[in-house]
């Protein structure tokens, strides 16, 4: 299980005894292009992360992470929201797992946006997951009268992303 | 030290080579009840997270304090959903307070960015050094107004939570 | 992996907690306030000149650069404490060899508090051996009068990467 080359190795041991675990479930995915008009009038939307940066153990697909084993997982995400209006006076974002939902970012979004209508939010959590449990990211912005809030994306820059790994 | 049953196991290795550490110190707890009128007038309040989701190695006291069982580097994550925020509350922060280090999160004008329901989320993460026996807790301090800001809790929804683990 | 303390990279005592004292992990902060670093669009590279710890000596307190010793996945926590002014907007930027991360993009007009506002960013990133990471404060909308706020005992501006797998 422990070798000093990279062939079928769980651990890679560095020259100074650093340990990297190439088989440990870990992923990072991002939104490569803007998804327009996703929320703003109370619509709850599952966020799109269409491009993988890495996906050790291939547990991420279709915006969803599926736990391969029972354990504790750390998740982090950022959503760059755009076209926010002054009327969007509430909203929040979520990590939705099979066992429980984690709530983040209760703000007056209309009061926080840049002149261009942008506001970036983050959330993270340490989650208990059973094997085959799933995790996604959702966002809901309210009071705008219409769903005009976009979720920004970019071909190479990490504006909207979702990442996680098996910790213990 | 490494075997495939779960008796006194440091590491459990799955068939896909994912490694779980079921005895590694790691905990996650949330506030099952709201805590009323705790700050707003600059009072520093230690938030109670009375509902444990998991507590590997039993290092969290079930109320608000984590005790480091060994010397090492520990990661902590907290999310605090506050309610009863008023316009007068022009400053606020969350604090990860340990025996040797204090880390402030989300220091900002709480009243200005509260949402339409007078909620505001504070959050933060950090990895800090702890000696064996050191303790850590999560605090909230909001000022500028009266002592009417509440910590939101719920028996089944993880609005306000605190988690951590021994990283290395 | 040994039970003595010579070059030990995994320590597992009888109570089963596992520590890895040689695993790359850094907590570095800015020791004292730094004045007038951004506000006019300047991309200011934050140099955390005080280390609470730097297992494996991968962070340079003179340049603010973290150099990954081993290809792997790194968990990156970073935070800026800034005094911002009405009209300021901007973000915290993490620059890695493979890609850039833009955190906390927002307007700061209504965040003004007595002196300081904090902006945090977290991510998992893939770094190859030898890749570098630094963080920047990029604030616009005013004069170059935004300061970095921090001290050693109360962590406000810090860089906190570690190798996780």
Reported as a single tens digit per residue, the pLDDT across A101-143 is: 999 988 888 888 777 888 899 999 989 999 999 999 999 999 9
Reported as a single tens digit per residue, the pLDDT across A53-66 is: 999 889 999 999 99
The minimal CB distance from C56 to the residues A16, A28, A78 is found for A16
pTM of model > 0.95: no
Q: What does the pLDDT average to over A2-8?
A: 37
pLDDT at residue C47, as a whole number: 98
Q: Do C162 and B167 touch (CB under 8 A)?
A: yes
Q: Which two tokens stand for residue B124?
A: 């933060």
> Residue C143, Cβ neighbours under 10 Å: how many?
10
pLDDT at residue A45, as a whole number: 98
Question: What's the mean pLDDT when you consider all of chain C?
Answer: 87
The minimal CB distance from C17 to the residues B25, B101, B108 is found for B25
Scanning every residue of chain C, which has its alpha carbon at the shortest distance from the alpha carbon of A30? C101
For residue C67, the enclosing domain spans 25-163
Q: What dihedral angle (degrees, nearest 10) is formed by the CA atoms of C12, C13, C17, C23?
A: -40
For residue A50, the enclosing domain spans 25-166
Residues in chain B: 168
Number of domains in chain A: 1
Q: Tell whether the model's pLDDT for residue C5 goes beyond 90.
A: no
- Whole-number CA gyration radius for chain A: 18
Q: What does the pLDDT average to over A36-48?
A: 98
Reported as a single tens digit per residue, the pLDDT across C92-144 is: 999 999 999 998 887 776 555 556 788 889 998 999 999 999 999 999 989 99
Reported as a single tens digit per residue, the pLDDT across A16-26 is: 777 788 888 99
Pairing of strands B102-108, C154-155: parallel
pLDDT confidence tier of residue B22, bands split at 50, 70 and 90: confident
Question: What's the mean pLDDT when you consider all of chain B?
Answer: 88
Q: Distance between CA atoms of B128 and B166, rounded to whole angstroms?
A: 10
pLDDT at residue C119, as a whole number: 83
> Residue B23, Cβ neighbours under 10 Å: how many?
19
Number of domains in chain C: 1
Q: Which chains touch A (3 or more CB pairs under 8 A)?
A: B, C
Reported as a single tens digit per residue, the pLDDT across B90-107 is: 889 999 999 988 888 888
Q: Distance between CA atoms of A111 and C138, rounded to whole angstroms?
A: 20
Q: Does a structural domain hold residue C50?
A: yes
Chain B closest-CA separation from residue A153 CA (Å): 24
Instruction: Identify all chain A residues contacting B116, using CB atoms and an 8 Å cutoff.
Output: 89-90, 108, 142-143
Q: What does the pLDDT average to over B59-79?
A: 94
pLDDT at residue B5, as a whole number: 37
Assess contact for C118 and C80: CB atoms under 8 A.
yes
Q: Do B115 and A166 touch (CB under 8 A)?
A: no
Q: Distance between CA atoms of B168 and B57, rounded to whole angstroms?
A: 15
**Chain C positions with Cβ closer than 8 Å to A:** 1, 7-10, 20, 22-24, 56, 69-73, 75, 89, 91, 98-107, 110-111, 120-126, 129, 163-165
Tell me, yes or no, if B51 comes closer than 8 A to chain A by beta carbon: no
Q: Distance between CA atoms of A101 and B112, rounded to whole angstroms?
A: 27
The minimal CB distance from C27 to the residues B93, B104, B127 is found for B127
pLDDT at residue C86, as a whole number: 78
Q: Distance between CA atoms of B29 and B27, rounded to whole angstroms?
A: 7
Q: Tell whether the model's pLDDT for residue C60 goes beyond 60.
A: yes
Assess contact for A150 and A39: CB atoms under 8 A.
no
Q: Do B77 and A103 touch (CB under 8 A)?
A: no
pLDDT at residue A83, as a whole number: 95
pLDDT confidence tier of residue C159, bands split at 50, 70 and 90: very high
Residues in chain A: 168
Interface test with B, best of C11, C14, C18, C56 (most B CBs within 10 A): C18
pLDDT confidence tier of residue B81, bands split at 50, 70 and 90: very high
> Residue A85, Cβ neighbours under 10 Å: how many?
18
Q: Tell whether the model's pLDDT for residue A152 goes beyond 50.
A: yes
The minimal CB distance from B28 to the residues A69, A109, A126 is found for A126
Q: Does a structural domain hold residue A102?
A: yes
What CATH number corresponds to the domain at position A53?
2.60.120.40
pLDDT confidence tier of residue A13, bands split at 50, 70 and 90: confident
Q: Tell whether the model's pLDDT for residue B1 goes beyond 70.
A: no
Q: Does a structural domain hold residue C13?
A: no
ipTM rounded to 2 decimals: 0.83
Domain B30-166 fold: Jelly Rolls (2.60.120)
Tell me, yes or no, if A161 comes closer than 8 A to chain C by beta carbon: yes
Chain B closest-CA separation from residue C57 CA (Å): 15
Reported as a single tens digit per residue, the pLDDT across B33-52 is: 999 999 999 999 999 999 99
């Amino acid at each position: 299980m422990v070798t000093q080359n990279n062939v079928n190795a769980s651990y890679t041991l560095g020259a100074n005894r650093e340990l990297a675990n190439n088989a440990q479930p870990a992923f990072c995915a991002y939104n490569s292009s803007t998804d327009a008009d996703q929320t703003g009038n109370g619509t709850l939307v599952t966020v799109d992360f269409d491009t993988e940066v890495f996906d050790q153990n291939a547990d991420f697909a279709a915006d969803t992470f599926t736990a391969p084993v029972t354990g504790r997982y750390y998740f982090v995400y950022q959503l760059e929201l755009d076209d926010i209006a002054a009327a969007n006076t509430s909203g929040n974002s979520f990590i939705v797992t099979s066992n429980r939902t984690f709530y983040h970012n209760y703000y007056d979004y209309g009061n926080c946006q840049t002149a261009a209508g942008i506001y970036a939010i983050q959330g993270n959590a340490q989650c208990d997951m059973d094997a085959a449990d799933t995790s996604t990211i959702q966002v809901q912005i309210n009071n705008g009268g219409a769903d005009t809030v976009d979720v920004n994306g970019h071909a190479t820059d990490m504006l909207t992303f979702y990442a996680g790994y098996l910790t213990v | 030290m490494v075997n495939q049953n779960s008796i006194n196991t440091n590491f459990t290795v799955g068939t896909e080579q994912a490694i779980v550490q079921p005895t590694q110190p790691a905990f996650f707890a949330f506030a099952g009840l709201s805590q009323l009128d705790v700050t707003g007038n600059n009072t520093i309040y230690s938030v109670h997270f009375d509902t444990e989701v998991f507590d590997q190695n039993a290092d969290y006291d079930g109320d608000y304090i984590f005790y480091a069982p060994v010397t090492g580097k520990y990661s902590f994550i907290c999310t605090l959903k506050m309610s009863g925020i008023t316009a007068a509350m022009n400053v606020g922060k969350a604090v990860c307070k340990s025996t040797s280090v204090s880390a402030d999160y989300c220091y900002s004008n709480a009243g200005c960015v509260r949402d339409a329901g007078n909620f505001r989320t504070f959050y933060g993460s950090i990895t800090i050094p702890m000696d064996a026996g050191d303790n850590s807790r999560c605090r909230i301090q909001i000022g500028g107004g009266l002592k009417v800001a509440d910590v939101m809790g719920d028996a089944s929804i993880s609005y306000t939570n605190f988690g951590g683990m021994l990283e290395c | 992996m040994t039970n003595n303390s010579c070059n030990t990279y995994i320590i597992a005592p009888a109570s089963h907690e596992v520590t890895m004292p040689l695993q790359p992990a850094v907590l570095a902060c800015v020791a004292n306030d730094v004045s007038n670093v951004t506000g006019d669009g300047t991309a200011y590279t934050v140099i955390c000149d005080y280390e609470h710890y730097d297992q494996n000596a991968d962070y340079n307190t003179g340049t603010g650069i973290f150099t990954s010793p081993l290809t792997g996945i790194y968990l990156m926590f970073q935070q800026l404490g800034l005094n911002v002014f009405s009209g300021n907007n901007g973000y915290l930027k993490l620059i890695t060899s493979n890609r850039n991360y833009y955190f906390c993009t927002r307007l700061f007009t209504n965040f003004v508090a007595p002196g300081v506002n904090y902006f945090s960013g977290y991510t998992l990133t893939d770094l190859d051996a030898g890749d570098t990471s630094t963080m920047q404060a990029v604030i616009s909308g005013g004069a170059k009068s935004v300061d970095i706020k921090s001290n050693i005992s109360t962590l406000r501006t810090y860089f906190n990467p570690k190798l996780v797998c």
